[in-house]
Chain A
Amino acid sequence: MTPIAVQSNDLEPTILKTGQTPRPERRGSSTEKETITHARSITARGVNVFYGDKQALKDINLDVQSNMVTALIGPSGCGKSTFIRCFNRMNDIIDGCRVEGEITLNGENIYAKGIDVVALRARVGMVFQKPNPFPKSIYENVAYGPRIHGLARGRAEMDDIVMSSLDRAGLIDEVRDRLDAPGTSLSGGQQQRLCIARAIAVEPEVILMDEPCSALDPIATAKVEELMDELKKNYTIVIVTHSMHQAARVSQWIAFFHLGDLVEQGETEQIFTNPEDDRTQAYITGRIG
């Protein structure tokens, strides 16, 4: 297997304690196991979120490891989408929403005073449930982010960024000869991959995906899942999904939310074969919705 590089940042890679925080991805036979250490990418400590008087999340502690796919699962209204939106401060734009506690991205408190939220959202990209390309050409959809962040000096560099982003999003072969066509002319699955290309064009550290496949057919879903597997080599991915089987297929770490609590987290394999908490068991076996 290809060794997964620890994302470069100012922190030393953390040696994790078994059972407490995520263990490295395991692949292949036991004889070829490699010891990989993952750095913590996002750390949430004592996070409470309120919508007005209503508390949506209660004292959440979670470490998101780099170069892994972390899936947040749980029934509707459990707080998983609220939580993922804390990571790029999307909740700031919701009236009456208040976030308490500490969330750090590679060691930096993202709720600290003086944080540039626009810059933060370039570091933490997001892909939504419904593909939402800009009403612009395919090329412009991808070029937009790098342009406003001043990442390209001249047309040639911008072309490079656009083409490599489309390539990494697995879309290049399907759009190479029609980069000027509107983004909205693509199929749903292609539009979603265009949104992923748009997100990675600004070289984020983390990609958040909120139900990225729920509007896609099985083939398009498989392509996005394959893409996630590929992207996790370079990025940290957090996905919210209602499909437990999708979580089982794509993630290495699972966090199960219920009624605002983080009930249980663990390696995907362990959660789906032998969860510890009765609520997790009831949810994943289809006994509570």
Chain B
Amino acid sequence: METEHIVTSFDEDLGQLETMISEMGGMAEVQLSDAIKALVSGDAVLAARAVKRDKDLDNFESEIGALAVRLLALRKPMADDLRIVIAALKISSNLERIGDYAKNIAKRTIVLERVPEIGDAVHSLIRMAGLTQAMIKNVLDAFSLRDSEKADDVRLRDEDVDRLYTSLFRELLTYMMEDPRNITPCTHLLFMAKNLERIGDHTTGIAEQVHFMVLGETPSDERPKGDGSSMIVSRPANSGKAEPK
């Protein structure tokens, strides 16, 4: 099959759209990586940089939106071309949200000032971050390579992030119940964990867009989910009842 359009400027526009998505994805990766590094090292300057970077991602999303609208209006894309444009619009929105969550993590790092030494919580958080970062990297590769299998694999791995989040939720809850002085740092860590969990969800959203872009259909099977935090109920210790599983 011919791979190039008769109108070469159409290819250039589509190529530009793909490049912009890859660049934006790279920026989101760096932003999250800086936020996590700042958390580990307590580096407020790095954290501030990650916060500042979010504006660039917002601008990128607007530019991708404008290019997509121009492509739709002037080129009237069909079939796989149409799917790329639609997927790019949605992926840019997912990446923008990932940027927002990375910014939030960085902001809380600044508030915390130093790494709280509460059990193993920070390490669990870093492990969770490592998982989401790998997911983002793989989903961006899947987009560039138009590899739906790779995208499907990313989609399934969100369950691991969810599981880690649920276990971290329990862990932090325990620390808070143990000593009220833990409540402030644990709450920040909990929000960070929630941010990472949401980043996982948006990465899964990107994976679904890649699947649609390549195959022309949305993934039909219900993916496994591991976030059970909404089912966890905490009762005061003197109530005489154990925390339900």
Q: List residues of A whose CB falls within 8 A of some B CB.
A: 244-245, 248, 272-275, 278-282, 284-289
Contact = CB atoms under 8 A, between A and B. Distances in A.
B1 A274 contact: no
B217 A279 contact: no
Interface string B204-217: 00000000000011
B6 interface: yes
Given A274-B217, A278-B1, A286 B79 contact: no
B1 A282 contact: yes
Contact of A279 (B1, B3, B216): B1
Given A273-B216, A274-B216, A274-B217, A285 B79 contact: yes
Nearest to B215: A274
A286 B10 contact: yes
Contacts of B6: 286-289
Given A272-B78, A272-B79, A273-B83, A281 B1 contact: yes
Given A281-B80, A284-B78, 12 more contacts: A245-B76, A248-B78, A273-B79, A273-B82, A274-B79, A275-B79, A281-B1, A282-B1, A285-B77, A285-B80, A286-B7, A287-B6
A286 B7 CA distance: 8
Interface in B63-93: 76-83
Interface in B104-158: none
B2 interface: yes
Contacts of A287: 1-6
Contacts of B7: 286
Contacts of A281: 1, 79-80
A248 B81 CA distance: 16
Contact of B5 (A272, A279, A286): A286
B2 A288 contact: yes
Q: Majority SS of interface residues in chain A?
A: helix
Contacts of B77: 285
Nearest to B1: A278
Contacts of A275: 79
Contacts of A288: 2, 6
A112 to B, nearest CB: 40
Nearest to B217: A274
30 contacts: A244-B78, A272-B78, A272-B79, A273-B78, A273-B79, A274-B79, A274-B83, A274-B216, A274-B217, A275-B79, A278-B1, A279-B1, A280-B79, A281-B1, A281-B79, A281-B80, A282-B1, A282-B2, A284-B78, A285-B5, A285-B79, A285-B80, A285-B81, A286-B6, A286-B7, A287-B1, A287-B2, A287-B3, A287-B5, A288-B2
Nearest to A280: B79
The 3 nearest A-B residue pairs measured at CB: A274-B216, A278-B1, A287-B2
B12 to A, nearest CB: 14
Which among B6, B76, B78 has the greatest number of chain A C-beta atoms within 10 A?
B78
A272 B77 CA distance: 9
A285 B76 CA distance: 9
Contacts of B79: 272-275, 280-281, 284-285
A243 to B, nearest CB: 10
Contacts of A282: 1-2
Nearest to A272: B78
A281 B76 CA distance: 14
Nearest to B76: A245
Contacts of A289: 6
A272 B86 CA distance: 14
Interface string B200-240: 00000000000000001100000000000000000000000
Nearest to B7: A286
Which among A245, A272, A275, A281 has the greatest number of chain B C-beta atoms within 10 A?
A281
A278 B79 CA distance: 11
Interface in B1-39: 1-7, 10
B224 to A, nearest CB: 27
A287 B4 CA distance: 6
B172 to A, nearest CB: 43
B233 to A, nearest CB: 37
Given A273-B83, A273-B216, A274-B216, A285 B1 contact: no
Which among A272, A282, A286 has the greatest number of chain B C-beta atoms within 10 A?
A286
